[in-house]
Amino acid sequence: MAGATILVLNGPNLNLLGVREPATYGRETLADIEEACLEHAAELGLSLDFRQSNHEGQLIDWIQEARENADGIILNAGAYTHTSIAILDALKAAELPVIEVHLSNIYRREAFRHTSYVSGAANGIICGFGGHGYVLALAAMARLIAAATDHD
């Protein structure tokens, strides 16, 4: 597991964290979350590749590249979570451990947020813990990768 690289992908509108609907998403910015992830990844001995895009095709390109460049994917696909079969297909093709993250508890919100295509390719889901969910996802990912390495 030492030296494993985790791709942390953020989808549309997550660049606006901190100013976007703070009652729902909190005051933390995406840069704050990246910093917390970098700190935690260093403690776990993981390398981090933290990215954001508002474009579905860009997210898919990065997921495809992860097959070669990463050992696991942590994904907050934003609203694409609820719409994108293409992202689901890309995640399945990547054949990597995937953890789905949402800042808000999507199951307490509007009905259209209760369906997640990403979940169909995810080992697990963390939602409702704000930015801390990313740190929890990193810890979970480290365990998943360690368990897979033990069995090799």
| Positions in the binding site for ligand DQA (CB under 6 A) | 13, 76, 78-79, 81, 102-104, 106, 113
CA-based radius of gyration for the chain: 14
* Residue with token string 């494993």: 4
CB of 54 to ligand DQA, least distance (A): 10
Mind telling me the catalytic residues? Answer: 25, 102
Task: Compare residues 12 and 139 and give the one whose CB is closer to ligand DQA.
Answer: 12
CB of 62 to ligand DQA, least distance (A): 17
> How far apart, in whole angstroms, are the C-alpha atoms of residue 129 and residue 59?
23
For residue 31, report the phi and psi dihedrals to the nearest 5 degrees: -65, -40
CB of 13 to ligand DQA, least distance (A): 5
> How far apart, in whole angstroms, are the C-alpha atoms of residue 95 and residue 39?
27
Q: Tell me the torsion sign for CA atoms 9, 95, 144, 114.
A: positive
Task: Compare residues 20 and 92 and give the one whose CB is closer to ligand DQA.
Answer: 20
Angle between helices 85-94 and 56-69 (to 10 degrees): 10
Task: Compare residues 44 and 116 and give the one whose CB is closer to ligand DQA.
Answer: 116
Spatial contact of 1 and 142, defined as CB atoms under 8 Å apart: yes
Task: Compare residues 58 and 104 and give the one whose CB is closer to ligand DQA.
Answer: 104
CB of 85 to ligand DQA, least distance (A): 16
